[in-house]
Structure 1
Amino acid sequence: MPVIPFDPTRHIIRNVPAHIDIDSRWLLLALLSDLVAIRDSEPDPQRAEQLRTITCALGAVLARFEPPKGAA
């Protein structure tokens, strides 16, 4: 499986679907879960909104690596 280089300054369009190894995916999901818990318990509305922005961005990145619907 080829490695997709990560460079946030440019967008590479290829025929290779986005992928990530399973261990890294689970670590990122655990991180997202922890951030959501921190965000939900944050008493300061401004900091909670900043955390919401971060958790939404991380969730969007992780969504790229979800298996297609109906895949085994």
Structure 2
Amino acid sequence: MPVIPFDSPMNHLNNTPPHIDYESHWLLLAIQSDFIRFRSGEQDNQRAIELRKITTRLSSALARFEPPKGAA
């Protein structure tokens, strides 16, 4: 599986929006879902805050990519 840099100069030259393969996109969404579930059940306020930071950053990273090729 080829690695596509997040800030690839080719994306800017070709006006191609960033994209990710279907399996990787699905795995990242599953990880995000798990983090949100853990955050919701976290009793320790400091840990919940840290999990919120992680889920926010992961959401931002996922928002940079278009839906996987072939997705409806």
Structure 2-normalised TM-score? 0.74
Write out per-residue CA displacement over residues 39-62 of structure 1, whole angstroms, 9 at most, x where no aligned residue: 110000111000000000001111
Specify the code of the residue in structure 1 equivalent to 2:27: L
Percent of residue pairs bearing the same amino acid type: 57
Match of 1:63 in 2: 63
8 Å contact from structure 2 (residues 20, 66) kept in 1: no
The runs of 5 or more residues in structure 1 that have no matched partner are none
| Aligned pairs (5 A) from 1:1-72 | 4-6=4-6, 11-12=7-8, 14=12, 15-67=15-67
* RMSD of aligned residue pairs (Cα, Å): 2.0
Greater share of helix = 2
Higher relative contact order, chain-length normalized (CA < 8 Å, sep 6+): 2
Total equivalences in the alignment: 63
